[in-house]
Structure 1
């Protein structure tokens, strides 16, 4: 069984990025580290908080960081989870995937380049 490095990334769906950005800036007390029309991200206290406009997310998704995304997906599916989105490269070798637990909750996995 492979272990995780904990939840380090949480993505939040937003309907209006320009209205959401000041709220999260005030909450986190830092300016965005990534700021574009399709994504705003904050690095605060060892976590990355992202705002995602126009997504199919219906609720925030917590992303567990792992060293082997394929192995972890195999473990969770063998245990009863269902792959929602298979691993894909989102930037410079960073892989992300999502799966659902037995109650339909969406959980995420992140593997950083090694």
Structure 2
């Protein structure tokens, strides 16, 4: 089951510059501020800045579906012809993420909240 797209992650080359732009745009400080990820919580939506996104295959912002069974959903997507861009990984606090590229070249992100 999915809760829908609740997270958008932007790949960024200059994390400090992107953080300044998004802080100004959103009018609030990040809720998470680490060298590997800066995140904001705005109106029930998570906005993330990933300085390693390009190396993971992200070519632009990626919507991440919040799911209950990340293993099952990744398997379903792979069985339908998707390719793995990022294996399932724990990103802290029990939250797990993965990314695939579908047969049309679209990047699909998945998050299983803790």
Normalised by the shorter chain, which TM-score bucket? 0.7 to 0.9
How many angstroms does 1:103 deviate by? 1.4
**Residue number in structure 2 paired with 1:17:** 15
Deviations 1:54-77 (A, max 9, x none): 441332111100000011112222
Q: Which runs of 5+ in 2 are unaligned?
A: none
> So what's the TM-score if we normalise by structure 2?
0.87
Given the superposition, is the C-alpha separation of residues 37 and 109 from structure 1 closer, same or farther in structure 2, using an over 3 Å criterion? Answer: same
**Residue number in structure 2 paired with 1:31:** 29
Residue 26 of structure 1: SS of its match in structure 2? helix
**Residue number in structure 1 paired with 2:101:** 100
2:69 is equivalent to residue 68 of structure 1 = yes
> So what's the TM-score if we normalise by structure 1?
0.87
When the two chains are superposed, the root-mean-square deviation of aligned CA atoms in Å is 1.5
**Runs of 4+ more than 6 Å apart:** none
Residue 74 of structure 2: SS of its match in structure 1? helix
How many angstroms does 1:32 deviate by? 0.5
How many angstroms does 1:96 deviate by? 0.6
How many angstroms does 1:104 deviate by? 1.5
CA distance in 2 between partners of 1:54 and 1:96 (Å): 14
**Residue number in structure 1 paired with 2:47:** 49
**Residue number in structure 1 paired with 2:82:** 81
Query: Number of residues paired by the alignment?
Result: 111
Larger mean Cα displacement after TM superposition, 18-27 or 64-73: 18-27
